[in-house]
Amino acid sequence: MDLQLTGKTALVTGASRGIGLATVSALRAEGMRVVAAARTITPELKATGATGIAVDLSAPDAPARLVAQAEEALGGLDLLVNNVGGGDTGEGWAGGFLTFTDEQWQETFELNFLASVRTTRAALPHLTRGGGAIVNVSSTSALTPHAGPIPYSTAKAALTAFGKGIAEEFGPQGVRVNTVSPGPVRTDMWESPDGYGAEVAKAMNVSQEELLAHLPATAGMVTGRFVSPSEVAALIAYLGSPLAASTTGADHVIDGNSVKTV
């Protein structure tokens, strides 16, 4: 299917791995010119042909600088993908509410919520010029907060609400805003030996391999497997395309039906 994205421009954050890297690859395959932002520009990201910009978006002034660099590199902006975030910090993240410090709450909100708020604020003047689109990558943890570390789940819930609000405000100016909420995705968050998955396995007193083998069923995923990054990327690409011209203000869950509520 031709998504009619050839020659259009995109900025993707959190682009070095997982969903972000898959999204950059999908958009490049559709003929888009892409600026890819990440703390580290990996060889895999370089191989996509995107313009990589190394940046830590948890710094308050970084998003505005990134958008200015992207605008200069691309000469305009049609799509912003707010993918930056993290729930894979590992040690100390498998505990309950009382185990989290103010610093952990602040760091989690800076990366998973405020980075997207600031990047969106900087990008909107460019997006409103030509009727652009924004896709925010949230999580089903926003819908089932008990399923993940509570600072992460709460930050993602704020991001989902944020997308709904700006869709209403900027829709009349031609900007579409949608949210994508994946369930468990086969990424480093679960697979890294020092990531969140390893910490959960340790807390449950099982091996990480055993956790990964049984988690889809335990999470109620009727597909019996993790979501793949490429599946999420395909949905993001569609939502950013002219084919989704009447789709805005929606939260698109991609989770193998693990969330059972309507």
Is 196 a residue of the active site?
Answer: no
Name the active-site residue from 109, 152, 162, 170: 152
pLDDT in tens, the chain (262 residues): 899 999 999 999 999 999 999 999 999 999 999 999 999 999 999 999 999 999 999 999 999 999 999 999 999 999 999 999 986 566 677 888 999 999 999 999 999 999 999 999 999 999 999 899 999 999 999 999 887 899 999 999 999 999 999 999 999 999 999 999 999 999 888 888 888 888 888 888 999 999 999 999 999 999 999 999 999 999 999 999 999 999 999 999 999 999 999 8
Within the chain, residue ranges assigned H as helices are 18-29, 43-46, 62-74, 102-109, 115-130, 150-170, 188-191, 196-204, 208-218, 229-239
CA distances 135 to 84, 156, 228, Å, are: 12, 14, 18
- pTM value is 0.96
pLDDT tens, position by position, 191-222: 888 888 888 888 889 999 999 999 999 999 99
CA–CA separation, 2 and 104 (whole Å): 43
DSSP code per residue over 4-61: S-TT-EEEESS-SSHHHHHHHHHHHHTT-EEEEEESS--HHHHTTT-EEEE--TTSTT
Q: Which fold has domain 9-247?
A: Rossmann fold (3.40.50)
The answer to whether the CB of 239 falls within 8 A of the CB of 247 is: yes
- Contacts of residue 32, defined as CB under 8 A and 6 or more positions apart, other chains included, come to 5, 6, 7, 8, 9, 10, 78, 79
